Structure 1
Amino acid sequence: MTGMHITTLLPEHADQVLAIYQAGIDEGNATFETTAPTWEAFDAAKLPDHRFAAVDEDAKVLGWVAATAVSDRCAYAGVVEHSVYVDPAARGRGVARALLQALIASTEEAGIWTIQSGIFPENAASLAVHERVGFRVIGTRERIGRQRGAWRDVVLLERRSPRIG
C-alpha cells in the first residue's frame, strides 16, 4: 500500500492503537474482550520486540500487530501468540498483510519458531490474510467461550518457521 510504512509500535501511538482495538471489540468478531485495556496493561502484556504499527504519511495509525509469550516455560520460548487489528477505514488495503510480514520477520530474527492465533470462524478476512502469509489451520475449538450470551468457536492457526526448529 502506498503512503504507509511499518514502524515499531510506540507509546505515542497508544490512543490510536486502543481506539482501533476497541473498534474491533465493538464489531464482535475479533476477540472475547469487551473493553480495550489501558495502555499500561497493553504495554506490559506485549513483547517489546514484536509489536508494530502501520502508519500513513500523516502519522495516523492504520493498524497494529503485537505478540505475547504463550508460556514462561523454557520449552515454549520459541512460541508466541499474536493479535492484529486494522482500522475499519483502512481495511482491504494490505495493512494486515504488511503488519503480519513485519511480525514474521521480527520473530524469525529472534529465533521464534511458532506464531499462533485464535480467530473466530466468522472473521473470514482475517483467516484469509493469515493463510496468505503462511499460517495454517490447526483445528477449531468448539464452544470455547461465551460472548454476549452466545457460545463461540475459535479457529486455531499457526505459522511454523521454515528456518527454525
Structure 2
Amino acid sequence: MQPEHAQAVLGIHASGIATGTATFQSNPPTWDEFDAGHLAEHRFVALDGDTVLGWVAVSPVSGRCVYAGVVEHSAYVAPEARGRGVGRALLDHLLESAGAAGIWTVQSGVFPQNIASLALHEAAGFRVVGTRERLGLICRGPHAGTWLDVVLLEKRL
C-alpha cells in the first residue's frame, strides 16, 4: 500500500462503514491518521490493473514490549469485488508477511452480523476467542442507538 492508493483505500473503508456491520467508526480516517495508525510493512492492497479492489492493514495492540508480536488487523473489500476471493488473498498475504516478521498473534474484532467476515476468518484458520457483548453503541447512521457485540478472533502464527 502506497500513498497513491490513499483515496481508493479510504473510499473502500467508507463503503465498509456504510454497511453498518464493519466498524464502529462513522467516518473514515484521514490518510495521515490511517498512515500513523497502521504498520507500514504490513499493509497491502489488491489491484486489478490500477484499480484497488481491497486492502488489509495491521495496528499494534499495545506499546508494551510483551505485546510486540501481537497485532490487530482490518480488511476491507470494494463492493464490486466482494465474493471474488480478494479478502482471502489479502488475509493470506498478511499472515505470511506477519509470520515472516516474527509476529505471533493476529487478532480481529468482527460484528456477529458480518457473516462474510466471520466465514473468511474461519477459512483462514482464525479461532473465536469469545464475544464481547454490547461492546459499543452506534452513534450515527442507520443503526444509531444500537448496541453491538464484537466477536474476538485470533490466529496464532
- TM-score normalized by the length of structure 1: 0.91
Instruction: Quote the residue 1:94 is aligned against.
Output: 85
Give structure 1 regions of 4+ aligned residues with deviation exceeding 3 angstroms. Answer: none
Instruction: Quote the residue 1:6 is aligned against.
Output: none
In the alignment, the residues of structure 1 paired with residue 64 and residue 19 of structure 2 have an alpha-carbon distance, to the nearest angstrom, of: 34
Instruction: Quote the residue 2:3 is aligned against.
Output: 11
In the alignment, the residues of structure 2 paired with residue 87 and residue 39 of structure 1 have an alpha-carbon distance, to the nearest angstrom, of: 18
Instruction: Quote the residue 1:127 is aligned against.
Output: 118
Instruction: Quote the residue 1:3 is aligned against.
Output: none
Instruction: Quote the residue 2:99 is aligned against.
Output: 108
1:155 counterpart = 2:147: no
Q: Secondary structure at the match of 2:47?
A: strand
Q: CA deviation at 1:63?
A: 0.2
In the alignment, the residues of structure 2 paired with residue 48 and residue 19 of structure 1 have an alpha-carbon distance, to the nearest angstrom, of: 19
Deviations 1:62-83 (A, max 9, x none): 0000000000100000000000
Q: CA deviation at 1:115?
A: 0.2
Instruction: Quote the residue 2:14 is aligned against.
Output: 22
Q: CA deviation at 1:103?
A: 0.5
Amino acid of the structure 1 residue aligned with 2:153:
L
In the alignment, the residues of structure 1 paired with residue 56 and residue 108 of structure 2 have an alpha-carbon distance, to the nearest angstrom, of: 12
Is there any run of 5+ residues in structure 1 with no aligned partner, and where?
1-8
Instruction: Quote the residue 2:141 is aligned against.
Output: none
Q: Secondary structure at the match of 2:148?
A: strand
The alignment-based identity, stated in percent, is: 62
In the alignment, the residues of structure 2 paired with residue 124 and residue 149 of structure 1 have an alpha-carbon distance, to the nearest angstrom, of: 22
Q: CA deviation at 1:14?
A: 0.3
Instruction: Quote the residue 1:5 is aligned against.
Output: none
In the alignment, the residues of structure 2 paired with residue 53 and residue 86 of structure 1 have an alpha-carbon distance, to the nearest angstrom, of: 10
Deviations 1:45-73 (A, max 9, x none): 0001100000002x100000000000010
- TM-score normalized by the length of structure 2: 0.96
